[in-house]
Amino acid sequence: MSTSSPVAVDVSKTTLEVKSRFFAFETSNDEKGLKTLIKRLETLNSPLVVCEATGAYERLLIATMHAKEINVCRVNPARVRAFAKSEGILAKTDKLDAEVILRFAEKKQLRPLLPPDPKREKLRNLLNRRSQIINMRTEEKNRLENHPQELHSSFNRVLKYLEKELQRIEKQIDELILSDEKLDAQVKCLKSIIGVGDICTLCVLAYLGEIEHLNRNQLVALAGLAPYNRDSGLFRGKRKIIGGRGKVRNVLYMATQCAAVHNPVIREYVGALRERGKPYKVAIVAGMRKLLIHMQSELKKLNFELA
């Protein structure tokens, strides 16, 4: 078991419910409240702050812990809820949630989050905004097709603005990559792989920052490409992939479809699986794993050259 002192934090929009074996208190989810938390953490030996992923509200907490060089871990709330049910805890309050998170942290081997690279963090934010604009553009195009002619000028004005905003975001992405020698080299390295395009490259670097630090099994599991058994007694179910980084998996699927046609290694690998009777999607997912592992290998070679 870890020698760190876990400190559970149940995060909401305005408050932080803090619980450890040495103290428990509630504070505000802002800079003032985090200063109070840090003072209490200073009394502990090797604190490990554990919180659930909320989508946004935990970001200030995590950023502050990294800035103060305090280990912090973000866990999947579904895992914590399943743990609570396994312990017979069905009620749900902020205080009770903090207690459950603490008990979960004490019984599990949790890995602290790596401090984010500022450039990759900015790249991730820009890619998120790019996706939002593309989704808005798609919605407006759909409305254009299904509304009367007198409204088309309104839709076209919005579409024109969204196109300009998309170009502006993509220009910022290009400038960010060129401003960092290592990031620029990594982008060129991944794009040199047949089938891997601009968006796939950027998404892997932005949303799978751990790619250079994990082993192969950990990497494919994190990307959501590890097939899990579904067996019980004499029953042998189909193995399925589940969870992981959806944004990475989506772009890898498109890249592998291209690579299965144009990349000789992936084409031969996927083709061999198809000849053995594997369904198309099963073969493509296997090709996705192979392509991702190859991308990891190329990045590690590049890091060795740059060192």
Same domain for 165 and 251, yes or no, is no
Residue among 44, 42, 100 nearest 75 (CA)? 100
Q: Domain for residue 112, yes or no?
A: no
Query: Which tens digits make up the pLDDT trace of 74-102?
Result: 999 999 999 999 999 999 999 999 999 99
Q: Domain for residue 98, yes or no?
A: yes
Residue that finishes a domain, picked among 52, 85, 107:
107
Total structural domains within the chain: 3
Same domain for 209 and 232, yes or no, is yes
Tell me the C-alpha distance between 290 and 171, whole Å: 32
Distance of CA 251 to the CA centre of its chain: 13
Within 13 Å of residue 161, how many CA atoms lie on the same side as its CB? 7
Instruction: Give the model's confidence band at 3: pLDDT under 50 very low, under 70 low, under 90 confident, else very high.
Output: low
Q: Domain for residue 18, yes or no?
A: yes
Same domain for 97 and 133, yes or no, is no
Query: Which tens digits make up the pLDDT trace of 215-233?
Result: 999 999 999 999 888 888 8
How far from 248 is each of 54, 75, 91, 132, 284, CA to CA, in Å?
20, 19, 35, 16, 15
The domain containing residue 262 runs over which residues?
Answer: 200-306
CATH number of domain containing 103: 3.30.420.40
Same domain for 126 and 165, yes or no, is yes
Query: Which tens digits make up the pLDDT trace of 155-198?
Result: 999 999 999 999 999 999 999 999 999 999 999 999 999 999 99
**CB-CB contact of 26 with 70 (8 Å):** no
